[in-house]
Amino acid sequence: MTAKKHHKSKEKEALAEELRDPKGQDETALAEAESKKGIPVTVLPEQQLLIGELGYTLVLDYRNGFAADKLGERFTEILTRYDFIVGDWGHDQLRLRGFFADETNQGSIDQRISTLEDYLNEYCNFGCAYFVLEKNERTKPHPTRRKRHRRRSEKPAARTPEKAAAKKTAEKKPAKPAKKEQQHNFVMRKREED
């Protein structure tokens, strides 16, 4: 019986150790995992800040909605393409949304910063705390690509004069006869009165 009691006490000790240290991780490993979470945010003087390596300016901080630590946790790489980032609070959760500048032709009208008030009224809790960040260095939109036209001398060498002549004769179709005006077979009648 003493062996069973000894075995049970070892099980209890192992269970207590597991509860103190879940999944076999020590406290330093857990602290390192939490510190790696998100992108580092550095607050600079004069409402400037760095998110990773990108510079932003805090344009508006309504009801002290800006929290650098939470911004770093929630920030994703997709937000770097936007000129403005809006963060709003709802149910103790920070939600980030990107907006383009009005001058750019990127995105839909709903994604322009001029629609910020509509966004706040439609999608955010009434009177919630929020902030607006503006990217310091806006990237210019890429010009639209123009189709490159080939010169006649740059045509592919695969075409031979015989193939070109055969293609021209195959492309010619017989002319269609002119359409006759269609006559409609209906009669307009006067309405009979009762």
Angle at the Cα of 44 from the Cα atoms of 42 and 48, rounded to 5 degrees: 100
Find tokens 């597991």 and name the residue.
18
Would 187 be classed as within a structural domain?
A: no
Pairwise CA distance, residues 59 & 47, whole Å? 8
Count of beta carbons in the 10 Å neighbourhood of residue 87: 22
CA 26 remoteness from chain centre: 37
Task: List the domain range (segments joined by +) for residue 45.
Answer: 41-135
Q: Taking the model in full, what pTM does it have?
A: 0.54
Give whichever of 12-21, 27-36, 134-143 has the largest mean pLDDT.
134-143
Question: Does residue 131 have a pLDDT over 90?
Answer: yes
Predicted confidence (pLDDT) at residue 173 exceeds the cutoff of 70: no
Q: How confident is the model at residue 170 (pLDDT cuts 50, 70, 90)?
A: low
Task: Give domain status of residue 193, yes or no.
Answer: no
- The backbone torsions φ and ψ at residue 86, rounded to the nearest 5 degrees and listed phi first, read -115, 130
Residue 89 lies in a domain: yes
| Mean pLDDT across the chain | 76
- Is residue 7 a part of any domain in this protein? no
The answer to whether residue 88 sits within a structural domain is yes
In a domain, 82, yes or no: yes
Q: Using 50, 70 and 90 to split pLDDT, how confident is the model at 24? A: very low
Q: How many domains, the chain?
A: 1
- Measured distance CA(71)–CA(41) in Å, rounded: 7
Q: Domain holding 104: CATH number?
A: 3.50.4.20
**Does any domain span residue 167?**
no
Strands (E), the chain: 41-43, 48-51, 54-62, 84-90, 93-99, 130-135
In a domain, 49, yes or no: yes
- How far is residue 31's CA from residue 14's CA, in Å, rounded to a whole number? 23
Count the helices and strands in the chain (H runs, E runs): 5, 6
Nearest of 97, 92, 158 to residue 122 by alpha carbon = 97
